[in-house]
């Protein structure tokens, strides 16, 4: 049996299997089905394999707390042995079994920011660097999330965290930004903040498809040679209609409602759980009942807890310029999917980095952000200047507004992003976007 590369795999319940309590491990090349002894056992397997897959993607080992003998007997066989077809040591058996016992635990890259980024990662100077970083983060990102094509897989949806081929990206764009926000990994490098880059690195095609294709019969999925109509039907069903999202109750959540699922995932800084809550149509502006804390504030506090005894000033206050900006992918994922930055100060203490994120995000949304010399100007336009008469002739006064309007139009054209210019070229060639 061919070993499974965990970096490209996903796991889910096998709903169409003839036998009970089956789950399947899926890769771009093949699918394998396994049978558990009970529904609880199946749920434990799925969660444990999820943790193993996440660990493989992150390139690190997991060390969960010790478990009881009863918990150790839940699975029976070593996960690594089952998935790869190879025997493993006793220590590995104990390691993976204990990972399965803590079913509520989700290990993610974002348990706490693992490293600090500066304002620039050199993507502007070397656009291929961003593309390579996204591919290195998840081997599944070499294939299109929707058709498994390997041709021109250089487009992303920043609110879904997926990588797409040029054909499927055009379908996404046609659905509107309320469904999918498309950017080019090579042409729109100025559009990627560190927070958005981190979304792409932590989500990616493998994690995303575990949510959006949880109940999909893989034979229904388009392939690289599928027509535009086939892609449109599938992508609309997948993202707009949420046709393949696992409804609650689900092995992915022990909570009864989408809002509770979302809140619990935010508090755990579990970006896959947050994506699942969003896919379930949870309210991204939900607040915690105990302290009426908005989801954005909860996400910031979970990602980078404030020091004990610290206080949070109002949003109008500016943190010290010495504060290092760190990525907040969960908070940004909420914003990209419609969450609004609250105008009221947070009721809980936030770290200096979280305050910096709020100030920068608020300024960006208000149109008051000041681009650095190396950054592209924002695609915004202020009010037109008032035209006052200067004692000239009536004809001259009438011509002035027209001249200024032309200048403003010229400025607007210059402000178009590289992605917009590319889209225009595609349209001029008669290619569907």
pLDDT tens for 340-381 read 999 889 999 999 999 999 998 888 776 644 444 444 433 333
**Predicted pLDDT at 125:** 67
The reply to whether 197 and 314 lie within a common domain is no
Answer yes or no: do 122 and 216 share one domain.
Answer: yes
- Where does a domain end: 346, 366, 386? 366
Highest mean pLDDT range out of 32-46, 59-73, 149-163?
Answer: 149-163
In a domain, 19, yes or no: yes
In this model, does residue 310 exceed pLDDT 80?
no
Q: Residue 216: pLDDT above 80?
A: yes
Residues 171 and 230 grouped into a single domain: yes
Same domain? 229 vs 262: no
User: Mean pLDDT for the chain?
Assistant: 74
Confidence grade of residue 127 (pLDDT, cut at 50, 70, 90)? confident
Mean pLDDT score, 7-32 = 77
Q: What is the CATH number of the domain that holds 209?
A: 1.10.220.150
CATH number at residue 284: 1.25.40.20
What region does 148 belong to: left with phi over 0, alpha with psi -120 to 50, or beta?
left
In-domain check, residue 79: yes
User: Does residue 373 form part of some domain?
Assistant: no
Tell me: do 359 and 307 sit in the same domain: yes
Is 81 in the same domain as 31? yes
Q: Are residues 316 and 352 in the same domain?
A: yes
Query: Residue 325 burial by CB count (10 A; 0-12/13-18/19+): exposed, middle or buried?
Result: middle
Q: Is the peptide bond before 249 cis (omega within 30 degrees of 0)?
A: yes
Q: Is the pLDDT of residue 140 over 90?
A: yes
**Residues 266, 208 share a domain:** no
Evaluate whether residue 25 is within a structural domain.
Answer: yes
What is the number of domains present in the chain?
Answer: 3
> What value does the mean pLDDT take over residues 314-332?
74
Is 59 among the domain residues? yes
Domain boundary among 90, 107, 124: 107
HEC secondary structure over the chain:
CCCCCHHHCEEEECCCCCCCCEEEEECCCCEEEEECCCHHHHHHHHHHHHHHHHHHHHCCCCCCCCCCHHHHCCCCCCHHHHHHCCCCCHHHHHHHHHHHHCCCCCCCHHHCCCCCCCCCCCCCCCHHHHHHHHHHHCHHHHCCCCCCCCCCCCEEECCCCEEECHHHHHHHHHHCCCCCCEEECCCCHHHCCHHHHHHHHHCHHHHHHHHHCCCCCHHHCCCCCCCHHHHHHHHHHHHHCCCCCCCCCECCECCCCHHHHHHHHHHCCCHHHHHHHHHCCCCCCCEECCCCEEHHHHHHHHHCCCCCCCCCCCCCCCCCCCCCCCCCHHHHHHHHCCCCCCCCCCCCCCCHHHHHHHHHHHHHHHCCCCCCCCCCCCCCCCCCCCCCCCCCCHHHHHHHHHHHHHHHHHHHHHCCCHHHHHHHHHHHCCCCC
Encode pLDDT of 391-403 as tens digits.
444 444 334 434 4
Domain identity same for 97 and 120:
no
Q: Residue 268 falls within a domain, yes or no?
A: yes
Domain that holds residue 85: 6-107
Q: What is the mean pLDDT of residues 57-65?
A: 45
pLDDT at 414 over 60: no
More confident residue, 48 or 162: 162
Among 18-22, 189-193, 354-358, the range with the most confident prediction by mean pLDDT is: 354-358
pLDDT value for 122: 60
> Are 265 and 233 part of one and the same domain?
no
Q: Are residues 305 and 346 in the same domain?
A: yes
pLDDT digits (tens, 9 = 90+) for 164-183: 999 999 999 999 999 999 99
Instruction: Output the pLDDT for position 415.
Output: 44
The reply to whether 421 falls in a domain is: no
Query: Which residues are 34's β-sheet partners?
Result: 23
Span of 39-43, 86-90, 138-142, 365-369 with lowest mean pLDDT:
86-90
Q: Which of 85, 107, 129 is the last residue of a domain?
A: 107
Higher pLDDT, 408 or 168: 168
The lowest-confidence range among 186-190, 201-205, 341-345 is 186-190
Q: Report pLDDT digits (tens) over 228-259.
A: 999 999 999 999 999 999 999 888 888 999 99
Is residue 328 scored above 90 in pLDDT? yes
Does any domain span residue 404? no
Mean pLDDT check: name the lowest of 2-6, 86-90, 321-325: 86-90
Q: Are residues 204 and 143 in the same domain?
A: yes
- Per-residue pLDDT at 4: 75
- At residue 335, does pLDDT exceed 90? yes
Structure confidence at residue 412 as a pLDDT band (50, 70, 90): very low
């Amino acid at each position: 049996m061919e070993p499974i590369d965990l970096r490209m795999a996903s796991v889910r319940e096998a709903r169409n299997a003839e036998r009970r309590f089956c789950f399947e491990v899926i890769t771009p090349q093949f699918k394998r089905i396994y049978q558990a002894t009970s529904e609880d056992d199946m749920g434990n397997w799925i969660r444990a394999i999820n943790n193993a897959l996440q660990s493989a993607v992150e390139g690190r080992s997991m060390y969960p707390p010790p478990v009881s003998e009863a918990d150790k007997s839940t699975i029976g066989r070593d996960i690594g042995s089952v998935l790869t077809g190879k025997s493993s040591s006793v220590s590995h058996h104990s390691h993976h079994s204990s990972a399965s016992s803590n079913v509520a635990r989700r290990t993610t890259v974002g348990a706490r920011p693992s490293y600090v980024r500066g304002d620039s990662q050199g993507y502007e100077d070397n656009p291929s660097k961003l593309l390579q970083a996204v591919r290195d983060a998840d081997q599944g990102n070499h294939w299109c999330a929707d058709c498994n094509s390997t041709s021109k897989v250089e487009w992303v949806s920043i609110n879904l965290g997926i990588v797409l081929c040029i054909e499927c990206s055009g379908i996404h764009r046609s659905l509107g930004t309320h469904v999918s926000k498309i950017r080019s990994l090579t042409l729109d490098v100025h559009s990627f903040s560190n927070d958005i880059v981190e979304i792409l690195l932590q989500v990616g095609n493998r994690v995303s498809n575990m949510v959006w294709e949880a109940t999909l019969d893989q034979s229904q999925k388009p392939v690289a040679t599928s027509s535009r109509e086939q892609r449109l039907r599938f992508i609309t069903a997948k993202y707009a209609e949420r046709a393949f999202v696992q409804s609650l109750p689900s092995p992915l959540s022990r909570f009864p409602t989408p809002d509770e699922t979302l809140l619990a995932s935010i508090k755990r800084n579990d970006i896959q759980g947050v994506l699942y809550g969003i896919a379930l149509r949870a309210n991204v502006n939900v607040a915690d009942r105990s302290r009426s804390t908005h989801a954005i504030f909860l996400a910031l506090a979970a990602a980078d807890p404030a020091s004990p005894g610290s206080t949070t000033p109002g949003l109008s206050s500016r943190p010290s310029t010495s504060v290092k900006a760190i990525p907040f992918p969960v908070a940004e994922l909420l914003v990209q999917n419609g969450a609004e930055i609250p105008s009221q100060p947070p009721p809980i203490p936030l770290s200096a980095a979280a305050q910096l994120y709020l100030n920068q995000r608020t300024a960006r949304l208000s149109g008051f952000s000041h681009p650095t010399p190396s950054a592209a100007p924002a695609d915004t336009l202020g009010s037109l200047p008032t035209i006052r008469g200067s004692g000239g002739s009536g004809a001259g006064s009438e011509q002035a507004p027209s001249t200024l309007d032309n200048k403003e139009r010229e400025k607007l054209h210059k402000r178009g992003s590289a992605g917009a210019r590319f889209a225009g070229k595609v349209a001029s060639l008669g290619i569907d976007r």
